[in-house]
Structure 1
Amino acid sequence: MAVFGATGSIGTSALDVIARHPDRLRVTVLAAGRDVEALLVLCRRHRPQHAVIADETRFAALCDGLRDAGLDTRAHAGAKAIEDLAGSDACNTVVAAIVGAAGLPSTMAAARAGKRLLLANKESLVLAGELLMAAAREGGATIVPIDSEHNAIFQCLPSARTQSSIDNTLARIILTASGGPFRGRTRASLADVTVEQAVNHPKWSMGPKISVDSATLMNKGLEVIEAHHLFGLPGARIDVLVHPQSLVHSMVEFIDGSTLAQLGLPDMRTALAVGFGWPQRIDSGVGGLDLLAEGGRLDFEPPDLDAFPCLRLAYGALAAGGTAPALLNAANEVAVSAFLQRRIGFLSIPALVEDTLAAIPASPATSLDALHDADAHARHHTAQAVAAARTPA
């Protein structure tokens, strides 16, 4: 097993599941961004064959730490090392949990090499969904989505198919959303929310960027785009319902009127255990669901696209196609980073994204180079808007 993004929340959950099955699962590669100390703690615990720090300035510290710990783990540094290991025989399963566009190269490498790909890096599908799915088909890779919503759909579909060959018995997919920390708030009331409030998710323990995306509903918008690529449905057949209990993780409706749903406690270890064990079921460390203990009710409501326009913008980018989703994602990453740095307000996030989409026309997404160019163009435009403090109204 290779765990990319090992020190993050998904990586931590993945390692917890792996540790429960020493007879069948073994960590051989661990990769982190720049937190050498946390990576070294994991190396001492799991003793992988390879450890990678993406920040090359931290390579010496990684080497020193491994030597001082008496480990024979081989040290690597840089994004290229992660990409190379993803496609190598050092692993047969890759947990792709690097946040943001930085996770795309290693995800593509794993797909081309025919790995079992536990995909938690949604940007890979948002930026390059067509290219990634084509690489997976050509390489013989198995993609198991680790987002709780897409994992739920994976479990509900016949044979748990995730390629674009779903037959016409599938009517629609219904993604559920918790609504984030600001569910029920009006747009005007969101003007002065703080970073601390935005990252305080009521149900899930996630990193700051993903938590802010959940608060703006951009996370759900990105998931709509992901679902389009994973399951081969147009945006018109992918719906979103707000479900504050976060117990129904998503639903699949068939043409005969049947709807299948996957339920469970809000814990990423369930989806990861599905990814590691499928088609078998293995222990995840998560308890069973007691609906009475959880309040005995399941509520659903439509999303408020006025208060949370990011979801509307994502549907628009999916409909526009080409590089539009890459522009959306890049602008959002820059805007969220600026918000987390307290340089802009919460409502400036969707405003900046909408401004970028309006300013840069979408073009055909024919190659990774075209997508990287679109990504860079959007980042530059959005960063300039932040720096000049000319956030659109």
Structure 2
Amino acid sequence: MNWLSLDTVSTEIASGVACGKSRIVADGIPHLRPFSVTADGRLTLAEAPIIPIEAVPANRRELRPGDILFNNTNSQELVGKSALVEANLFAAFSNHMTRIRVDTRLAEPAFIHRYLNHLFSRRYFEGRATRWVSQAAFGTSQLKAIEIPLPPLDEQRRIVGLLDRAAEIRRRADAARAKARAIIPALFLDMFGDPATNPKGWAVQALSDLADIGSGLTKGRKLNGTPTEPTPYLRVANVQADRLDLSEIKMIDATDDDRVRCRVLPGDLLMTEGGDLDKLGRCAMWQGEVDLCLHQNHIFRVRMGSDIIPYYARAFMQSEAARGYFLRVAKRTTGIASINKTQLGRLPVWVPPLPLQTAFAEQASRLDSLTRALDAAAAKADSMAAALSAEVFG
């Protein structure tokens, strides 16, 4: 494999043009700026301002398929992100962007883009950028000097194809999950009505009368010599809105009593105590993904009794009525909110007949099974892409 500088494999590495807010007009040319490049390497024209055509030199008014837009100036963690242009665009680009045109006799543009994104994910640009207050810049000379591993062109295209397929599997899985997340609330409203108004007149009970609510383990607590064993446990980061992120499960020293008291079982709801407002009362269902797993004290474990089916309870917890309750009763400091076990237990919950809950649960379960299958395929594709990137890019 040859290593060549980006300057060697490019026919052009050129910065764009500056144009301030005062020059924004209604009719002109879109001006792509750092926010036009997403962190995952896509280009978006959404919200790109329009500037006068005459403010842009003729050789900066066009983007061609295969051009790479590199973000040379941004906050420290975002400097160096880049996007691959996939269609002809009549558009200008900011002086905080650099247009790279690859010599296609030597390199596949998508391969170069993948390599730059690989460096970005490794925080290569952040670590080497010139920094000042809240900003960082990666200069043109630095960009030109980057050494790139280049296998033969056919091999470059094969690698890009494999990485593209992995990315497409991930996109489809994410889209399916988003669709399922939209279907379940709509199904809930259709079957049970709006929990904010209870139009069907369901009985109402406090959550503490319907479920056992458990607090978890406090990290760093004193054990006074009690024998312990490292055990997997769930943190706030593991509990997302309507899903679990189990990409990293940490261990905690737990006693035999801890392993009984704080063990999560299939069907348990896991709810976050708080943090940023978007984390308040976040809810996901445990389905036995790990054989023996505990939960931290910042996560409540809610185990339903015989009158409430977990799938129904999960959907209720994610309703605007439950969300509004949590926001009303939460203790707040600057940008942070939290609820305690007592407040969670007082949540008013509508209790429809069990057959209706069961019918809802059957449909929600099918959607969950579909998204789990897609997530498994996406995780496998992600793993393959990571292994391939590590092998090719180092």
Which protein is richer in strand relative to its size?
Answer: 2
- Common topology (TM > 0.5): no
* Shorter-chain TM band: under 0.3
Which protein is richer in helix relative to its size?
Answer: 1
Report the TM-score when normalising by structure 2.
Answer: 0.26
Higher RCO structure (Cα 8 Å, ≥6 apart)? 2
